[in-house]
């Protein structure tokens, strides 16, 4: 696929460390410019925007960012407010909090803020998201799904994401909430799309060259269904168990990465 972006992404599986070494959040500030970082925190997804916004603002300024402002965008009117657009256009890092990913896309999609985010990304602004803020990064996102059941067509609700990272679908809180079955169901619907499951306190650093690097304390799971041989996804009923054979699975802790173009994992030290 033709390269369409110039920025970097930091995709966080949720529940990142905020009290210890804070490796992931400090990485975001470093990517956004360190002491020159100007951060915009978008709290649209959460039902507690003031509390969550204040927490991240304090963290980011405590890590040395030049500034950290919170954008309280709760409806379509505020998503088109010129002041909010200006805040996006002048920042070096954008951070999406957790909550409900459908709130993010339904409130921001097609708005002035949405357009400003995309322009900023193309100019090189770093975009990070945790939990729901991670799910929206891809073209197609998982909105809901029963993670405790056998893989079935009926277990998933999906919608369009922001499309900042193409040809993947992302799930978060992955190992902690046992979500491999619903990610398998997502991959079965389109084996060309890579399924990426990110554990809590774990993140993917994504470069414009579509190379991923894992950071944090847990792991990232990559499901590659391109070479699936047998599947009953198109023939089964909604509640029938899915058949899938020859799915390739990678488990990647910190120190490993994944090349999206080549669909290959690598050890970061050997890559360097």
The residues that bridge with 202 in the sheet, in sequence order, are 216
**How far is it, in rounded angstroms, from Cα 90 to Cα 87?**
5
Catalytic residue among 111, 131, 135, 138: 131
CB 184 within 8 A of CB 242: yes
Nearest alpha-carbon partner for 15 in 149, 201, 150: 201
**How far is it, in rounded angstroms, from Cα 206 to Cα 269?**
17
Hey, CA dihedral for 175, 181, 184, 186, is it positive or negative?
A: negative
- In angstroms, what CA-CA distances link 200 with 16, 175, 241? 6, 8, 28
Is residue 236 annotated as part of the catalytic site, yes or no? no
Catalytic residue among 16, 87, 200, 213: 200
> Which tokens belong to 160?
């369009």
Is residue 148 annotated as part of the catalytic site, yes or no? no
Is residue 92 annotated as part of the catalytic site, yes or no? no
Residues 6+ apart with CB under 8 A from 66: 33, 35, 36, 37, 38
Which residues are identified as catalytic?
Answer: 131, 173, 200
């Amino acid at each position: 696929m033709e390269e369409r972006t110039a920025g970097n992404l930091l995709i966080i599986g949720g529940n990142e460390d905020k009290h210890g070494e804070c490796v992931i959040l400090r990485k975001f500030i470093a990517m956004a410019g360190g002491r020159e970082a100007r951060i915009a925190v978008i709290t649209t997804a959460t039902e507690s925007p003031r509390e969550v916004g204040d927490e991240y603002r304090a963290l980011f300024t405590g890590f040395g960012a030049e500034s950290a402002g919170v954008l309280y965008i709760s409806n379509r009117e505020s998503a088109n407010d010129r002041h909010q657009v200006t805040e996006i256009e002048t920042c070096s890092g954008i951070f999406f909090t957790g909550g409900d990913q459908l709130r993010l896309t339904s409130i921001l999609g097609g708005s002035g803020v949405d357009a400003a985010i995309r322009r900023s990304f193309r100019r090189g602004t770093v975009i990070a998201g945790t939990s729901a803020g991670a799910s929206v990064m891809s073209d197609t996102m998982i909105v809901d799904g029963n993670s405790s059941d056998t893989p079935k067509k009926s277990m998933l609700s999906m919608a369009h994401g922001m499309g900042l990272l193409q040809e993947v679908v992302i799930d978060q809180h992955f190992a902690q909430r046992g979500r491999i079955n619903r990610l398998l169901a997502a991959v079965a619907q389109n084996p060309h799309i890579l399924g990426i499951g990110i554990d809590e306190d774990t993140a993917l650093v994504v470069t414009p060259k579509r190379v991923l690097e894992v950071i944090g304390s847990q792991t990232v799971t990559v499901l590659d269904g391109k070479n699936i041989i047998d599947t009953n996804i198109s023939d089964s009923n909604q509640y029938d168990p899915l058949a899938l054979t020859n799915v390739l699975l990678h488990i990647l802790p910190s120190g490993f990465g994944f090349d999206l173009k080549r669909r290959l994992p690598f050890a970061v030290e050997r890559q360097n």
